[in-house]
Structure 1
Amino acid sequence: MVRIEKGGAAIEVVTGDITRLALDAIVNAANSSLLGGGGVDGAIHRAAGPELLEECRTIGGCPAGEARITFGYGLPAQRVIHTVGPVWHGGERGEDAVLAGAYRACFALALDNGLRTLAFPAISTGVYGFPKARAARIAAREALAAAAGGHFRRIVLCCFSEADAATYGRALEASAA
């Protein structure tokens, strides 16, 4: 595990199951319908229970680079912030900016809702195909920028595998240097 202190916040890279983290909010790497899917999206929907899907149906979707918030229902986290990252098309379609925007939108919603501890999965690095090292650099940069504002206590970059956690940990250490 890598841990960096910035602006009164601890930014951590961990390996684990994001659905088990007892924080103010966890972030869902959702698709634009917000109605569940595979990967972390499906896991969050399964763990939260059918009420999450019911609430998501009332939202009307979410474009890439933006975020929406719901309650956590059966999750230990009070809230779920749903964001849609970009599909990787080789980096020529503004994918970096959209991914950075997704992180910033999540932090803005957390701030607007008084949430001080939150966890992110590796957004867009699964079926959306965003290169992991590139995504990790963006995640680290945005987490450090958000922490610098002094509003957050704990920001977790939660990775599914040890290899991904090592990639995100290296990016965080390099960005903080």
Structure 2
Amino acid sequence: MELTIVQGDITTVAADALVNAANSALLGGGGVDGALHRAGGPEILQECRELRRTALPQGLPAGEAVATGAGRLPARWLIHTVGPVYSPGLDRRSVLRSCYTSSLRVADEVGAGSVAFPLISAGAYGWPLEDALVQAFSALCAADTQVEQVQLVLFDAATAALAHEVLSQD
């Protein structure tokens, strides 16, 4: 698998699948989740509502992933995963890493050869930026997947620079 770091807006990245840092309700929200829902259009929300009505009545648990169509996004699928909320007193790193590996497993199931990820849990969920990057790279680099290309899409230049620094330490 080829892993690249990209600075930009994930809603504009062309890939077979984009990953959404969703909340467990799957009904849109703020940050990356809201941006992807707005850019993708109402079809995504309709599919998420159907998932909640049928397969996921209690919502999507943290660390797990599920796919829907991508609506008007430049992708075929949108893979939703729920990151853990950061808590200094609890070690939830394995749940955060599971977001990446579960998303890749779903990507394999739908046949995606390329996947673009945001940095999960590093926004509203408060995960410290450097450790969020460490957990992302740890999970992605160790993953057993058929996905050929993975992009970690980071919104700002400072985060992209930090990601290059963290990756070079690995």
Shorter-normalised TM-score: what interval? over 0.9
Paired residue secondary structure (2:51): coil
Paired positions, count: 164
1:71 match: 69
In 2: Cα distance, 1:167 partner to 1:95 partner: 22
Query: Relative to structure 1, is the Cα distance of residues 33 and 145 closer, same or farther in structure 2, using a 3 angstrom cutoff?
Result: same
In 1: Cα distance, 2:24 partner to 2:145 partner: 31
Q: TM-score, normalised by structure 2?
A: 0.92
Task: Confirm or deny that 1:138 pairs with 2:141.
Answer: no
2:26 match: 34
Question: Would you say the 8 A contact 2:2–2:149 is kept in 1?
Answer: yes
Amino acid at match of 2:99: A
| Superposition deviation, residue 150 in structure 1 | 6.3
In structure 1, runs of 5+ residues without a counterpart are 1-8
Amino acid at match of 2:167: L
Task: Confirm or deny that 1:169 pairs with 2:159.
Answer: no
In 2: Cα distance, 1:111 partner to 1:46 partner: 26
In 2: Cα distance, 1:98 partner to 1:129 partner: 14
In 1: Cα distance, 2:110 partner to 2:167 partner: 26
| Superposition deviation, residue 27 in structure 1 | 0.3
Paired residue secondary structure (1:82): strand
2:151 match: 156
Task: Confirm or deny that 1:118 pairs with 2:110.
Answer: no
Q: TM-score, normalised by structure 1?
A: 0.89
Match of residue 54, structure 1, among 34, 46, 49: 46
Runs of 4 or more above 4 Å deviation: none
In structure 2, runs of 5+ residues without a counterpart are 53-58
Q: CA RMSD in A?
A: 1.1
